[in-house]
Amino acid sequence: MRTLRTVTTVASCFVALAFSFSAPEPKRSENANAYPHGATTCIEGSNGPGVELFLKQDSRCEGKVSHPYLEVDVREWPIHKSIRIGGEKWAFRCSNPKESYEQALSGNVIFDHVEGNLEDGTDGSYELRFSGGRSETGHFKVECGIPCG
C-alpha cells in the first residue's frame, strides 16, 4: 500500500513538472522590452538636415546598433522639444536583423532637454503606435551623440 502511494505521488509530481515545462510562456507586454538607451547620428545630404535617434536596450556606444531597437528620423533642424510622428518625422521598430522594419503609424517623442542638438545628451519619453493597435512607450536617455548641424 505504501509503495502504491509513493509511486502515485512521484507520478503526479512528474506530470505536473512536465506540464510546467510545456506550458506556453505568458504573453509579455509590448513595453516589457523598453528602450531606455539612446544614440544619435546625423542625417545629411539630400535626406537632411536632421537626426536619427536610435532607442535600444543596451547602453553600448561603439559598433552597430544592437537589435531590437526603435529608430526615429527627424528631418528638420534645429530639433524641437516635441516631435509628432508623421510628415518628415518617421519612426520604425526593428526586432531583429532578419525581419523588415515596421513603420509607426503615429506617435510622439518628447525631449526633456534639447538646445537644437543632441550631442550633449538628453532624456525624454516616447509613445509610438504600430499596426494592429500595438504600441511602444517608455523613457530614454541619449548617452551617445554625434554633433550635427
| Predicted confidence (pLDDT) per residue in 63-74, tens digit | 667 889 999 998
The grid cell for 142 is 541619449
Phi and psi angles of residue 14, each rounded to the nearest 5 degrees, phi first: -65, -45
Within 10 angstroms of residue 41's Cβ, the number of other Cβ atoms is: 15
Alpha-carbon gap, residue 101 to 87, rounded angstroms: 18
Give yes or no for residue 120 having a pLDDT over 80.
no
Q: How many residues are there in the chain?
A: 149
Give yes or no for residue 2 having a pLDDT over 60.
no
Q: Break the chain into its structural domains and give their ranges.
A: 30-144
Q: What was the pLDDT predicted at 30?
A: 52
**Contact 67/95 with Cβ under 8 angstroms?**
yes
Alpha-carbon gap, residue 110 to 144, rounded angstroms: 18
Predicted TM-score (pTM) of the model is 0.71
Q: What was the pLDDT predicted at 28?
A: 34
CA 30-31-32 angle, to 5 degrees, is: 95
Alpha-carbon gap, residue 39 to 134, rounded angstroms: 24
118: left (phi over 0), alpha (psi -120 to 50) or beta: alpha
Alpha-carbon gap, residue 87 to 4, rounded angstroms: 73
Residue whose C-alpha cell is 550633449: 120
